[in-house]
Structures are given as C-alpha cells and as structure tokens.
Amino acid sequence: MTLQATDRTDDLMEVYFRQFKWLRNALKRRVNSHELTEDALQETWVRLAGLKGRSQEIRDHRAFILRIAGNIAIDMLRREQRHSSVCIVDDRILEAIADTCPSPEVFALDRDNLRQFAIALMGLPDNVRTALLLVKCDGMPYRTVAKHLAVSETMVSRYLVQALRHCRDHFRNLEC
C-alpha cells in the first residue's frame, strides 16, 4: 500500500519532528560542531518540505531523514574545511602586517649601545680598531687586512682578540 505524496511528506515531517533530538545528537556526533548541526537540521527540514508531490516510495522514514541530514551535514563540513583551508588565519594576517620597526624603547636602547660601542672603539689603538672594523664590518679576510696594515695575519688575529676583549670589558664596566 502506497501513500499519496502529501501524506508521505506529512509523515516525513512528523517523523522529523518526533525524532528531532535523536537526529540532532546523531548529526552532532558526525560533524562535531553545534553550528553545523543546526544548519544541517534546518537544511534537512527545507529539503523534506520540498518533497511534496514526489511519488517515490520511502520504506523507512527515519533512515531516509538520517541519510538526507547526514549528507547535508557532511557537505557542509567539507565546504567549511575547503573554505578554512583557503582562508588565512587571523594570526598570520596580523604577523604579515605587523609593524617590524623597533619600539621606541628598543630604539633608544640600541642607540645607547651603539654610542657606547663607538666610545669603546675610540679607546682602542688605531691598528687594533682598524683591524676590527675591516674584519667584522667590511668582511675582509685576515690576509687582506694584514697587507693593508703591513702586519702578519697572526698580528691581525691578536688585534681582533685585543679589540673584542676591550669592548667586552667596556660593556661589563657599564653594567656595574
């Protein structure tokens, strides 16, 4: 015995409302999202309401409704996952547009450290200061610096040790 289409649709809606809590829990377990569950339930209701006038025979209303709701929920979940994989996370946006300039405090500290470094350099003998600047700032090899200063490469190495110790001691004395 087959029911008429309007009776069948009414039966579907009746089963939908009777099984609403069960359907909500089943969808929530499937998609693990309250918002997606509620959206899927609403879309399921719209689809069931749109079945008026269809002549297909439905044997198990509950299973039919669960299948429709489950398919809708999975489609929504996939759509959301595709959307979120394409969207940029807010943190990455903020990092991308974050101001990379130092804060006024960092700027002031760096400027003070640079001033102290210049003072430390002025306390070095000329050859020692020149060797340090040529090797560390200009990136010259020891051999080139040695020719420039008319000394051996070993002497350039000693100059660097002397300069670095002097600068270290200068900054240590500032901390005290």
Do 128 and 83 sit in the same domain of this protein? Answer: no
Residues recorded for the chain: 176
- Looking at residue 37, which CATH number applies to its domain? 1.10.1740
Question: What tokens appear for 163 in the block?
Answer: 């300069």
The CA-CA-CA angle for residues 28, 52, 43, to 5°, reads 25
Tens of pLDDT along 23-80?
Answer: 999 988 888 888 889 999 999 888 888 876 553 667 788 888 889 999 999 998 888 8
Q: How many CB atoms lie within 10 A of CB 129?
A: 18
pTM over 0.85: no
- Domain, as residue range, for 151: 104-175
Q: 């900054």: which residue's tokens?
A: 171
Do 17 and 71 sit in the same domain of this protein? Answer: yes
Do 68 and 126 sit in the same domain of this protein? Answer: no
Q: Which amino acid is at 39?
A: D
- Burial bucket for residue 23 (CB in 10 Å: 0-12, 13-18, 19+): buried
